[in-house]
């Protein structure tokens, strides 16, 4: 078979490389790259795999803490949750594939993050998702993407038997052409049995197991996530991966048995860039080389070229390193679980990734050049001189009454109940779910010792667009507040940084400031970053998305039976506001409904004071002092009160102080947003104990079948039925 012609520089540019990068590759190889080598380099040096515009920033984040077992660099992070157990967790994006084909894009996003969890030797126990779409009221495309993504998440999670226990979804114009689909997975494993991905042992065998390899996914996540999407992207539909959750279920059990029996040295899932990235990264971490014979790879399509086999992103595949004496046992386990298991290569001492097709060498590349020597670029951040984002169309008059504003907020897609989404997900499979979605601000999962893991995922692109630094701090604080409502102490944080094109100065500024805020907030909360993902180039003809750092946080509480609840519980309980409130309508949901432009900056937040309030709430939940607890977030205090009524099926009466000196306007007191405040209920004696630690105002009482609120000259008097009808507005998009 004659060798294919050497690719040109133009072909390298078509694959996403620059002419300078092609020259650098040629320098490292001592010659121009051939077809296989160019394909591998184009993916390993893509933004998605190399983080070449963000890696320098990520190095500034805090990554160490007393509970951290594994930090950034592995398939997922891991923290100690006691009893010899580790909680393994990570969040990743599948934005660009989901914008092209939402069902498979979202489904394979879930499948990919689950493989990251069991690649460490942990059993996946939960999924949370973070979604962003355009305006479903006005956009048929956004409704299509929403429906497809939700069905894809439900299909994969329900089929594989991993509960979807929480998440968030927002609808804003800047996501119209670039939806965001971020998935977070959580697993549980024995601390001492976790496995790393570094290849080791010259002469050891490389085994590929799982689904067969096809052309689906070629140029998928790694290429799609490293370029802007345009109007012609219907042509990219075939590059989106196709998932099979039933195949992954077998793969999961096979992997855990191999690890439990100690049959493998290292394990890595095949995600973006397929064999190219998994083999290269394993070799790099182990400071070894790997030879792969692609002629041995089980194929779905017999005529695949070597470069196609190397870059295929077919799903449900794993790569492991095995001592030669254990290969028969490994293949026997694969056969028992009905997954393909094939020895396709070996570990070498060459420090090179060699790709063979039978006896013929079709690619020979230094591992260091592939993984470690990708050029990292310095950003050129510059604060934009004019607004980047137009205001949303006004849907609420500025002179609307407080009651009209509350009902409009509850009906807003950004505040409305997510129950129509969660009803498509199995939230209780595996029988660990202590609190179902919307029963608590955080997901709560039972541990064997009677304690629990709490998890939350959060972000607010509109506030970050207004002020990337303070907006990102707010996202971290919101996550920690959700954990506090469950009674959990933060142990570690993961993140997914969703931004536009970092080569543009204003996007670079957003990214730099957001990472600075992320680092400062996590240091202040002692919640180190243990892993995450970066998704850039999220923009198209209509401009960039809102800068959207999504934050996932995991914590632990000692007694699952005392996990907090959102809903009011008991007639006659006192209602109180906890924390020093500094409400503001800047970048709030009410300001969005009014069609107001984004401000130039947000108010400063006293992070130390918010942390102290969170700790007081957490301890009060653990001590059983509170009947209910809910943090004040989108829509402000009035919406928080309404959500407590709806979650508990019981009304309340409250007279709210107009916070601030001088007092703020009633609309600000009712609907203003800023982190650090909570609505709680309980016996007055119990609340008095909490008041010894933190600022607390008793403002009312639980009871009745309506929400009655007075704030200065403003008043709200809405029945539970009226509140529920507004809050259930998303249901019309899920017939």
Query: Which CATH number fits the domain that encloses residue 600?
Result: 3.90.650.10
| Residues in contact with 633: Cβ distance below 8 Å, sequence separation at least 6, in sequence order | 478, 481, 640, 673
In which domain, by residue range, is 672 found?
Answer: 565-735
| Residues in contact with 232: Cβ distance below 8 Å, sequence separation at least 6, in sequence order | none
For the stretch 484-521, pLDDT in tens is: 999 999 999 999 999 999 999 999 999 999 999 999 99
Q: Is residue 496 part of a domain?
A: no
* Maximum Cα interatomic distance, the chain, rounded to a whole number of Å: 86
φ, ψ for residue 425 (rounded to 5)? -110, 145
In the chain, % of residues over pLDDT 70: 96
Of 457, 446, 395, 371, nearest in space to 166 by CA? 457
Of 383, 683, 673, 337, nearest in space to 512 by CA? 383
Three-class SS string for 592-613? HHCCCCCCCCCCCCCHHHHHHH
Of the residues 48, 53, 155, 506, which is catalytic? 48
Q: Is residue 241 part of a domain?
A: no
Number of domains in the chain: 1
For the stretch 680-732, pLDDT in tens is: 999 999 999 999 999 999 999 999 999 999 999 999 999 999 999 999 999 99
Computed from CA positions of residues 501, 503, 507, 512, in that sequence, does the dihedral angle turn out positive or negative? positive
Comparing 137-146, 223-232, 390-399, 558-567, the range with the smallest average pLDDT is: 223-232
Q: Which two tokens stand for residue 186?
A: 């959580």
Q: How many residues belong to the chain?
A: 735
Q: What is the rounded CA–CA span in Å between residue 265 and residue 254?
A: 15
Three-class SS string for 221-265? HHHHCCCCCCCCHHHHHHHCCCCCHHHHHHHHHHHHHHHHCCCCC
Q: Which two tokens stand for residue 205?
A: 């065998």
Computed from CA positions of residues 112, 113, 118, 124, in that sequence, does the dihedral angle turn out positive or negative? negative
Q: Which residue in the block uniquely carries the two structure tokens 């709430």?
A: 617
Average pLDDT over residues 346-352: 97
Query: What's the pLDDT at 3?
Result: 65
Q: What are all long-range contacts of 11-18, with beta carbons under 8 Å and residues at least 24 apart?
A: 11/38, 12/38, 12/42, 15/39, 15/42, 15/223, 16/42, 16/46, 16/223, 16/226, 16/227, 17/41, 17/42, 17/45
Residue 144 CB neighbour total at 10 angstroms: 13
Q: Answer left, alpha or beta for residue 193, where phi above 0 means left and psi between -120 and 50 means alpha.
A: alpha
Q: What is the rounded CA–CA span in Å between residue 667 and residue 658?
A: 9
Query: What's the pLDDT at 542?
Result: 80
For the stretch 446-470, pLDDT in tens is: 999 999 999 999 999 999 999 999 9
Q: Is residue 413 part of a domain?
A: no
DSSP structure class, residue 440: B
For residue 243, what are the CA distances in angstroms to 56, 112, 160, 248, 336? 33, 9, 11, 8, 22
Q: Is residue 93 part of a domain?
A: no
Q: Is residue 718 part of a domain?
A: yes
Active site residue 48: yes
Q: Is residue 598 part of a domain?
A: yes
Comparing 198-202, 219-223, 253-257, 353-357, the range with the smallest average pLDDT is: 219-223
Q: Which two tokens stand for residue 34?
A: 């051939």
Of the residues 22, 94, 357, 727, which is catalytic? 94
Active site residue 683: no
DSSP structure class, residue 314: -
Q: Is residue 681 part of a domain?
A: yes
Q: What is the rounded CA–CA span in Å between residue 550 and residue 497?
A: 6
For the stretch 658-672, pLDDT in tens is: 777 788 999 999 999
Of 646, 637, 713, nearest in space to 677 by CA? 637
Query: What's the pLDDT at 2?
Result: 53
Q: Is residue 666 part of a domain?
A: yes
| Residues in contact with 214: Cβ distance below 8 Å, sequence separation at least 6, in sequence order | 299, 300, 301, 304, 312, 314
DSSP β-bridge partners for residue 129: 167, 183
Q: Which two tokens stand for residue 509?
A: 């500024």
For the stretch 400-459, pLDDT in tens is: 999 999 999 999 999 999 999 999 999 999 999 999 999 999 999 999 999 999 999 999
Mean pLDDT, rounded, of the chain? 94
Query: What's the pLDDT at 241?
Result: 80
Query: What's the pLDDT at 663?
Result: 86
In the chain, % of residues over pLDDT 90: 90
């Amino acid at each position: 078979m004659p060798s294919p012609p050497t690719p040109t520089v133009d072909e390298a540019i078509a694959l996403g490389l620059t002419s300078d990068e092609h020259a650098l590759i040629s320098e490292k190889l001592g010659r121009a790259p051939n077809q296989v080598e160019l394909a591998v380099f184009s993916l390993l040096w893509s933004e998605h795999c190399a983080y070449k515009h963000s890696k320098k920033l990520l190095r500034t984040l805090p990554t160490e803490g007393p509970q951290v077992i594994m930090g950034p660099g592995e398939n997922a992070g891991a923290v100690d949750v006691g009893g010899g157990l580790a909680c393994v967790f990570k969040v990743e994006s599948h934005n660009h594939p989901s914008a092209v084909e939402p069902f498979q894009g979202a489904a394979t996003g879930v499948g990919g993050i689950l493989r990251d969890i069991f690649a460490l030797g942990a059993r996946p126990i939960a999924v949370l998702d973070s979604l962003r779409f355009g305006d479903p009221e006005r956009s048929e495309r956004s409704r299509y993407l929403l429906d497809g993504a939700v069905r894809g998440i439900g299909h994969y999670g329900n089929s594989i038997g991993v509960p979807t226990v929480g998440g968030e979804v927002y609808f804003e114009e800047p996501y119209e052409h670039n939806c965001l689909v971020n998935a977070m997975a959580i697993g549980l494993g024995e601390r001492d049995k976790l496995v790393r991905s570094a290849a080791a042992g010259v002469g050891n065998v490389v085994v590929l197991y799982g689904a067969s390899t096809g052309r689906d996914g070629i140029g998928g996540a790694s290429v799609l996530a490293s370029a802007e999407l345009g109007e012609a992207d219907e042509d990219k539909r075939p590059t989106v991966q196709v998932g099979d959750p039933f195949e992954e279920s077998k793969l999961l059990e096979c992997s855990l048995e191999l690890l439990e029996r100690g049959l493998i040295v290292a394990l890595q899932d095949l995600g973006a860039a397929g064999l190219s990235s998994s083999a290269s990264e394993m070799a790099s971490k182990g400071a070894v080389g790997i030879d792969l014979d692609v002629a041995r790879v089980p194929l779905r399509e017999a005529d695949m070229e070597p470069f196609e086999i190397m870059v295929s992103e077919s799903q449900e595949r794993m790569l492991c390193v095995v001592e030669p004496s254990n290969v028969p046992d490994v293949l026997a386990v694969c056969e028992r679980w009905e997954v393909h298991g094939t020895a396709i290569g070996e570990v070498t001492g060459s420090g090179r990734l060699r790709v063979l097709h039978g006896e013929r060498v079709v690619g020979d590349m230094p591992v260091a050049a592939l993984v470690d020597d990708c050029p990292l670029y310095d950003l050129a951040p510059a604060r934009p001189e004019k607004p980047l984002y137009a205001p949303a169309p006004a849907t609420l008059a500025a002179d609307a009454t407080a009651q009209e504003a509350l009902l409009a907020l509850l009906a807003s897609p950004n505040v409305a109940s997510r129950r129509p989404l969660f009803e498509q997900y199995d939230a209780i499979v595996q029988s660990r779910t202590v609190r179902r979605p919307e029963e608590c601000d955080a997901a709560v999962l039972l541990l064997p010792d009677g304690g629990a893991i709490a998890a939350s995922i959060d972000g607010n692109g509109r506030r970050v667009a207004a002020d990337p630094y303070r907006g990102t701090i707010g996202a971290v604080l919101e996550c920690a507040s959700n954990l506090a409502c469950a009674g959990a102490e933060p142990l570690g944080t993961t993140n997914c940084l969703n931004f536009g094109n970092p080569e543009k100065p204003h996007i670079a500024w957003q990214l730099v400031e957001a990472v600075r805020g992320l680092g400062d907030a996590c240091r202040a909360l002692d919640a180190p970053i243990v892993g995450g993902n970066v998704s850039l180039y999220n923009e198209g003809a209509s401009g960039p998305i809102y800068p959207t750092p999504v934050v996932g946080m995991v914590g632990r509480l000692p007694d699952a039976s005392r996990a907090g609840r959102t809903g009011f519980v008991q007639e006659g309980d006192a209602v109180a506001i906890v924390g020093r409130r500094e409400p503001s309508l800047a970048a709030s949901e009410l300001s969005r409904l009014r069609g107001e432009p984004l401000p130039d900056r947000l108010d400063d937040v006293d992070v130390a004071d918010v942390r102290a309030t969170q700790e007081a709430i957490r301890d009060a939940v653990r001590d059983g002092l509170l009947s209910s607890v809910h943090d004040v977030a989108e829509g402000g205090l009035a919406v928080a009160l309404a959500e407590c009524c709806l979650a508990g099926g019981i009304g309340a009466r409250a007279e709210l102080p107009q916070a601030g000196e001088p007092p703020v306007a009633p609309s600000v007191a009712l609907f203003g947003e800023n982190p650090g405040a909570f609505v709680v209920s309980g016996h007055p004696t119990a609340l008095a104990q909490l008041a010894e630690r933190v600022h607390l105002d008793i403002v009312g009482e639980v009871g009745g079948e309506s929400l009655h609120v007075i704030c200065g000259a403003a008043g709200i008097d809405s029945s539970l039925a009226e509140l529920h009808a507004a809050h259930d507005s998303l249901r019309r998009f899920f017939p």
